[in-house]
Structure 1
Amino acid sequence: MHDHRIPFKEPAIDGYVLGGFTWRHLRTDLERPVVIINAATSVRCRHYSRFAEYLFASGFDVITYDYRGIGESRSGSLRGFKASWSDWGVLDFEAMLQRAQREFPRQPIDVVGHSFGGCAAGLGASGSVIRRIVTVGAQFAYWRDYAANVRWRMFAKWHVVMPLATALCGYFPGKLLGWLEDTPSGVVRDWSAPTPWYETRPSGRALGELPFSRVKAQILAISITDDPFGTVAAIERLLGYFDGSERTHLRIAPKDIGEKEVGHFAFFRSEYQDRLWPIALVWLQNGQLAADTLGISPNLRFNTLPKSSPLGR
């Protein structure tokens, strides 16, 4: 694929300068949606470049960016650097919503959110402008929701070792350990909290409204059965917050696409361009699943599919 991305800098409302990339068609088309891609925790936005190029080639304008302290939005040492999951959503994602409205006026705005990026999609003050959302493995990283067969191993890694290393260094040295990017201590605090992060740090409740409720988008939550973070309980915990939205949960087994494993991070790898990416693409185009989409919708509480559909089981 040819690289069409253009780098940009965008200040958040508090003045912090964020970095990212735009894929923009030369001719303006008010019918053309712009897609904002929200990364997973401490995964650089460059990880999503091929997926962004795929959406661009399919007729979308695209914005990718890094949260403060990560990748293109890191300005120095993270020791003592103040940033939290709330900041990444309330400040950084909101800055991208505002940029999209300014740079692509009157075009529809869609969002793709990976892992925490799905949470961030509900935290922007301008969330009501979002038309459609696709999330992949999106959840709060609450330890009780982890897959039962690896729960204690994951608890030890992410809720014991990670906060201990952060306490020693003043930030999480993810690159040194080979675990994601270096991560601000406030984000580690939110991740490793003993109770679900947003239920103990409810940004926006003082305003009398949960930010998630502002979102009125058509949401497709994709989860993979071998993703130890993205269990049914974890996906539906987050979906429950988007109570103003039409929500569909699609659960896919690796065997559905001829694989033995996919896990939490592989969805956006180019090897799945023909097998997984079209599911997200069709949703962004039409707000529906294609009739031949593989997988099941595991809980009718968040299933908008008609019962006659093979997915409405």
Structure 2
Amino acid sequence: MNLPTRPAPEAFREPAADGYPLGGFSWRHVRTDLARPAVIINAATSVRCRHYSRFADYLFAHGFDVITYDYRGIGESRSGSLRVFKASWSDWGALDFEAILQRVQREFPGQPIDVVGHSFGGCAAGLAASGAVIRRIVTVGAQFAYWRDYQASGRWRMFAKWHVAMPLVTALCGYFPGKRLGWLEDTPAGVVRDWSTPTPRYETRPSGRALAGLPFSRVSAQILAISITDDPFGTVPAIERLLGYFDGSERTHLRIAPEDIGEKQVGHFAFFRSEYQDRLWPIALAWLQDGELTADTLGISPNLRFNTHPRSSGR
């Protein structure tokens, strides 16, 4: 399917909750429709929001208003050197995503608000104080980069790269020079610290007990977590660990093998490439439209693996 030519998205600047200027793009239909959802796309760690532009075009062509943005220190939201720049995963969620949530409520008043989160972007969806306004969430490979959850076949190689080499280079440079090394975007030191910490970022110990006061439980959105079997970050334990935090939501985990869509490999980053707009994107679209998946909407292998978690009985 070739998407029709669409008007270029509008660039915007939005102050984060602490005043830091964030940059992003808005795909907005001319006519307001209170039934039309507005979708926020949360990027992966140190991936520019422009990576998701074709997917945003796709959602816009199917009737959604769409917002993409960069976290502080990345892409459109970078200003100057990162050597002494302060930012963390918590800042990206509690300050940056929170600001975008509030912007969408102002810009699209009365419309449903949905979120698509890639990798850390799925975690960010649970860190905003206003998370209760979210109607539906689709995550793709979303997890905390906890090394024990990495795919077993490459775990030690990944540990050496992301938990040894990356923090060492960061300590030498004052930030992680990812662009120079071909490892994603340049990344603030605080984010590297959060990524490389030896225990899950928001847990007191690996057993899974969450720190008190985090806003994940405020989210009551219907969640679809998509994972790919050859994603070395997005293993079943990794995806399920994050889903466990969203105990106020009904959560569905859909696990897809590359061969289910006629591919040999997909991995952690390829889902949002336009080559998958006819095979993978309709899955996210169907969830955002209806909050459910059927054999007809999936249109791929009937052997897909589902795991569904009800909303916590304590809510």
SS for the counterpart of 1:220 is: strand
Q: Does 1:104 align with 2:108?
A: yes
Residue number among 234, 246, 263 corresponding to 1:242 in the alignment: 246
Q: Does 1:115 align with 2:119?
A: yes
Equivalent residue in structure 1 for 2:305, among 290, 297, 308: 297
TM-score (norm 1): 0.93
**Cα distance, 1:3–1:153 mapped onto 2, change above 3 Å:** farther
* Aligned residues between the structures: 299
Q: 1:156 aligns with which of 152, 156, 160?
A: 160
Aligned to 2:181: 177
Aligned with 2:22: secondary structure? strand
1:13 is displaced (CA, Å) by 1.5
Partner of 1:128: 132
* Matched letter for residue 25 of structure 1: H
Aligned residue in 2 for 1:67: 71
Cα deviation for residue 297 of structure 1 reads: 3.2
- Give TM-score scaled by structure 2 length: 0.92
The aligned amino acid for 1:239 is: L
Structure 2 CA distance for aligned equivalents of residues 269 and 200 of structure 1: 36
Number of the residue aligned with 1:144: 148
For residue 23 of structure 2, what is the amino acid of its counterpart? G
Deviations 1:282-306 (A, max 9, x none): 0000000132424533545x379xx
Displacement, 1:79?
A: 0.3
1:271 matched residue in structure 2: 275
Which residue is 2:214 aligned to? Answer: 210
- Alpha-carbon distance in structure 2 between the residues aligned to 1:91 and 1:255: 39
2:252 aligns to what SS in structure 1? Answer: strand
Question: What is the CA RMSD across the aligned residues, in angstroms?
Answer: 1.5
Write the deviation string for residues 178-232 of structure 1: whole angstroms up to 9, x where unpaired.
000000000000000000011159xxx88x6430000000000000000000000
1:227 pairs with 2:226: no
Runs of 4+ aligned structure 1 residues displaced above 3 Å come to 297-300
Residue 3 of structure 1 and its aligned partner are, at CA, apart by 4.6
Give the percent of matched residue pairs that are identical in Structure 1 and Structure 2.
82
Cα distance in 2 for partners of 1:210, 1:231 equals 24
SS of 1:199's partner is coil
Q: For 1:212-267, what per-residue CA distance to the aligned partner results, in whole angstroms no more than 9, with x for missing partners?
A: 00000000000000000000000000000000000000000000000000000000
Q: Which runs of 5+ in 1 are unaligned?
A: 305-313
For residues 6 and 214 of structure 1, the distance between their equivalents in structure 2, rounded to whole angstroms, comes to 31
Cα 1:58–1:298 shift into 2, 3 Å: closer
